[in-house]
Amino acid sequence: MKKICLSENHLHVCCRLAAGNCAPKCQPCCPAPAKRCCTAPAKRCCTMPSKPCCPPAKGKNGSPAQTKRINSSRRACLIARYSFIFAHERMDAEATLRTFICDMELVQRIIYIAALECFRVAKTAFWKIKTTVKHNLSLTHSEPPPLDVAVLDYIIYHKDVYDVFESVHEVICAMDMNPKISYPPVVDFVVITTLIKELCAVAFAMQTLDPPLDVTCGIDGELFNRTMYYRSSDSDHTAGYVAYHVWPPLMENGVVIVKGEVVTRSLVRILLQNMLRESLSLLNPLSQKSFVKLFSCRVFAKRKVEAEAAAVAVVSRLVK
């Protein structure tokens, strides 16, 4: 009996030449690397996934946190756009109107009334579109998000439902009928279409926020409120009454987001200007120009007593 060990690639085969039985394997001179244990992967303790405490809301905007972030981002962009309109489009509109109107107060009144009318018309258009979309979606709406949320999402993602040019036409028609700026018709308000269009678009987009943004309407002669307005550069900084408004403040649930701008003057001067404006409407255009020159800022720059006496005397002569 002879034992032969053949080693090749660390594998040894031991055979008995005389017998047909295989002998046990001899120990290799170099031990083979240990094999990995092939065991089945450990099973999870729970076959069903655990449910979260607060399931995420289903909808286009995802979770409530994501919806809040998107709303905050849109809100910041719209506020910045409103401020940009005040700094650029408003100044361009003033320069355009100054080529037709010499009175700076009338120019600023026109722009202020245009801003108020833009928000009024845009809110009306938003209410009409929201009512129509809500009626159409209520017929087929069956998803978990509330119907009001689905309506706002539809209006946000489908911007073409709002016809901004129709709103511009309505704003111009409303300004033509405004008694403060419509008489005499010295200019066509179509020249400030760019400003009106931008304000209408911003005002409509602000209605899709939660809560929406809006402007507030001021009253001539009201007390000056530092939390709502800035004083204009040509204001009387010692006066506490508002002569007229230049730009409306932006509000959110009664809280001022962006301050407006007003011109402040003394109460006596405000009353005199109102009297002069009423008397001015009874004069012809040539008398109006001479009257404006007579009571320019140079006259009111004198002492108050002399200015008041001169104004009352001229007004009394014109009325007679």
DSSP assignment of 169-220 equals: HHHHHHHHT-TTTSSS--S-GGGGHHHHHHHHHHHHHHTTSSS--EE----T
Number of domains present in the structure of the chain: 3
Residues 200 and 227 in one domain: no
For the record, the structure tokens of 268 come out as 């006596």
Q: Which stretches of 28-163 are DSSP H helices?
A: 64-84, 90-98, 104-137, 147-157
Distance from C-alpha of 175 to C-alpha of 117, rounded to nearest angstrom: 8
Whether 5 maps to a domain, the answer reads: no
Residues 221 and 115 in one domain: no
Q: Enter the pTM of the model.
A: 0.67
Residues 76 and 189 in one domain: yes
Residues 223 and 161 in one domain: no
pLDDT tens for 191-201 read 999 999 999 99
Q: What are phi and psi of 304, to 5 degrees?
A: -60, -40
Q: Are 207 and 167 in contact (CB under 8 A)?
A: no
Distance from C-alpha of 203 to C-alpha of 28, rounded to nearest angstrom: 88
Residues 148 and 75 in one domain: yes
Say if residue 76's pLDDT is above 50.
yes
Residues 84 and 137 in one domain: yes
Residues 208 and 227 in one domain: no
pLDDT tens for 25-60 read 445 554 555 554 444 444 444 444 343 343 333 444
Domain with 259 in it: 216-265
Mean pLDDT of the chain: 75
pLDDT tens for 223-263 read 999 999 999 988 888 888 899 999 999 999 999 999 999 99
Q: What are phi and psi of 183, to 5 degrees?
A: -120, 130
